[in-house]
Structure 1
Amino acid sequence: MEVFLLAFFAIGYLVLGGADIGVGMALPYLGRTPGERREVIAAIAPFFLGNEVWLVTAGGVLVGLFPKLEGELLSGNHVPVVALLVAWVVRDMGLWLRGRLPGRRWQGWCDGAIVAGSWGLALSWGVLLSHVLLGIQGPLAALAVAVPAALFGVHGLAFAALRLHGAPHRRAAVLSGGAGEAPTFALTSAALVAVGVLAGFRLPLEAGTSGPLLAPAILVLLPVLVATQAWVWWTFRHRVDGPSYL
């Protein structure tokens, strides 16, 4: 049961959070004008905070139920973990502060923070997934880091194709071709699930002694989280038709 909870939240974050990371990575490509960039950001505005809840929950499950694994993952991997946290703060700072002051220069700085933070997140996850979780080292390490980052990017394009319209939609749909946007998003989601499952097979998933106490409490909250996420996706299922609050 403990392994299921960790896998559920970790893989859920890769699929859900990977979408807004990928959109941020592709922001200069999707939005060529200030107005288009605001619409691109509006595509992820209702989702990115809820997606981060999955990462926080996965971290809580890791610390609470797998203390030994948590120590092994963090030991000697401070650089990618710190880089991930810094990129997370920079990306969210750009999103939150972009609409707080007028002026294209300010918006340009915030857009740069969004793009840099999104790339930082993708590359940091690439390092953790390839080296720490999958154990890939040597000359292939750089390629192994680039593959998850590229996967985040195409996943973001697939998500943007579902949410945008007009010229940004046509740019995002370049990967879909005649296959359709929903099947493309399903395919990139499945690829991220496969990466998460592959990483899980290599981890020493030995639960701690607190599992019998914490696991039932997490299971009680699980339907609430899933129902809330489903409600958000249903409510904002339509394409964006203008800028958001960001």
Structure 2
Amino acid sequence: MNNTFKAFLFDLNGTMIDDMEYHTQAWYQVLTGQLGASLDYAEVKKEMYGKNAEVLLRIFGPNRFSPEEIEYLSVEKEKQYQAAFKPHLKLIEGLDAFLEQAHQAGIKMAICSAAITANIDFVIDGLGIRHYFGAIVSADDVTTSKPHPETFLKGAELLGMAPEACIVFEDAPKGVEAAANAGMNAVVLTTMHAREEFAAYTNSICFAPNYNDPALRTIFFKMPQTFNR
């Protein structure tokens, strides 16, 4: 095992579960179908980072919605997402074995996500993996979303680890930027974004389509032969 990294900080959506298209579809329906935003699907995909309230404010400005309306729209979007994704809920290929191997190796782990607490609970309790994580940081736990480093720094603090001892697992450029701002290196899962989209970030040490990628075993630990299944 690479002894440099003593803690793994995982983003959730697109990093642990391959669900970003379902988020995009839900946002597209809410933003264009319900609210009449003049955005195509690609533009919606580009804007859907950070907290739900931040997405709405970024697109419509600060005076369009009351706090109550923002809360309603956020809940509506998440209801649509969960209903669509629930039949497909599963970990990204190889992550089940990767989490168990990290656990057996004594690696501390946290989820550090811009998802709301209810969505994180939906995933980790639905998949029975809560026991792997010593800390969970959601959108509800931070003041400023990624690319601000608060999410990852709080995760490291809750695990009792220095930032330089943590490696971030991310799928989005803004998340890798947040890791850089926190002084952390990152592994990039190319589930939603191509490698070329991360060219501006020098803290990306590995790109992998899933957790069966041999590069991850080389960097962190030699996985058992059953890992590739």
Q: TM-score range by the shorter chain?
A: 0.3 to 0.5
Q: TM-score, normalised by structure 1?
A: 0.31
Structure with a larger share of its residues in helix:
1
Structure with a larger share of its residues in strand:
2
